[in-house]
Amino acid sequence: MIWLAQSWSELDCERLYAILSARSAVFIVEQTCPYQDLDGLDQQGIHVTASAGDGAILAYGRLLPAGARFEEPSIGRVLTTTAARGTGIGRELMHRCLGEARQRFRGQPIRISAQQYLERFYRELGFVTVRGPYDEDGIPHLEMLMS
């Protein structure tokens, strides 16, 4: 497994295509949720990926700086692909995203918009629910914060 944390300018076409393909497969097809994934924020993000030897994305998360989506820096677009579920890679992904966030956004709280059914998972990582539930693209979400 290969872990990378890359800015927009560090992504090559193959990696970007693999990321967008994984996001589409999970968020649009699997969750049957038609929404505008290409939100204009990828260019500001740090893209954390775990991939197989063939380049296929197994897990992905996007870090955004303060002011991009929320007042605080945030982590979003968090996913594990079907092939990687049940392996603990989701927790490892979040630990890596949080490590990157701590390094890049020193001392700042981190905000997420989490699907409500994952509240316990994010609480175990140290997030606290600060708003919700609310509807986001037809799915109940919670805003959560880590100080």
Nearest to 93 by CA among 146, 130, 47: 47
Q: Specify the residue for token string 């037809």.
A: 138
What does the pLDDT average to over 7-16?
96
Query: What is the pLDDT, as a whole number, of residue 109?
Result: 97
**CA pair distance 140, 147, nearest whole angstrom:** 23
What does the pLDDT average to over 23-37?
88
Written as one letter, the residue type at 48 is: V
- Beta-sheet strand order (sheet of 57-64): 2-7, 46-51, 57-64, 74-80, 110-115, 139-146, 128-136
Render pLDDT for 42-64 as a digit per residue (tens, 0 to 9): 999 999 999 998 989 999 999 99
Render pLDDT for 67-103 as a digit per residue (tens, 0 to 9): 999 999 999 999 999 999 999 999 999 999 999 999 9
Query: What is the pLDDT, as a whole number, of residue 34?
Result: 84
Query: What is the pLDDT, as a whole number, of residue 137?
Result: 83
Q: Which residue range(s) make up the domain with 78? A: 2-146
Written as one letter, the residue type at 109 is: P
CA separation (Å) from 112 to 2, 45, 121?
A: 25, 14, 13
Per the structure, the count of domains in the chain is 1
Q: What is the CATH number of the domain that holds 23?
A: 3.40.630.30
